[in-house]
Amino acid sequence: MRNKASEGRIKLELPASSINEGFARVFAAAFAARLDPTIEEMADIKTAVSEAVTNAIVHAYPNGAGVIYISARIINGDTVEFVIRDKGEGILNVKQAMEPMYTTGGEDRSGMGFTIMQSFMDKVSVTSHLGKGTRVRLCKRISPRAAGGKK
């Protein structure tokens, strides 16, 4: 059983630079660790947060100057929530942007970021306003461990 003390919230601000994508993964892993996820759950969380941060770096601030805001919290004692925000360009058509293979990032981008987030997390929601930025909310329920350390 998890206690209420684990339901805190933490916030992080990072310069929108590709060097900080790895730091965001470590931040997500360290926060999620308090719910004792499996290796697979941890990998899912790190990958989804990484994709959201990478999207902000590449698409929100194409000129490279900007800040990415990440908040994390525990909901109901068993669900981790990450919100990744930027104050960048925004997304013209969120529904289209969430389609597999759609990208505005050029030939070197796969267009699979949102698809990856959706496949690894239980809930993904995206809101965006042109010229004001984008907010990506990622939630994943962590299965409680059974006796003996197995899920």
Tell me the per-residue pLDDT of 46-94, one tens digit each, with 9 for 90 and over: 999 999 998 898 888 877 789 999 999 999 999 999 999 999 999 887 6
CB contact set of 42 (below 8 Å; sequence gap of 6+) = 29, 32, 33
Active-site residue flag, 93: no
User: Which of 4-18, 43-57, 71-85, 122-136 is predicted least confidently?
Assistant: 4-18
The active-site residue, picked from 21, 41, 51, 89, is 51
Side chain identity at residue 68, one-letter code: I
Can you list the domains of the chain with their CATH numbers?
4-141 (3.30.565.10)
Higher pLDDT, residue 134 or 100? 134
| The predicted structure's pLDDT at residue 3 | 44
Active-site residue flag, 51: yes
The active-site residue, picked from 21, 25, 41, 55, is 55
Residues 24-41 have a mean pLDDT of 95
Residues 23-48 have a mean pLDDT of 95
9-15: strand order across its sheet: 9-15, 67-75, 79-86, 133-141, 123-129
Residues 107-134 have a mean pLDDT of 81
Active-site residue flag, 109: yes
The active-site residue, picked from 109, 135, 137, 141, is 109
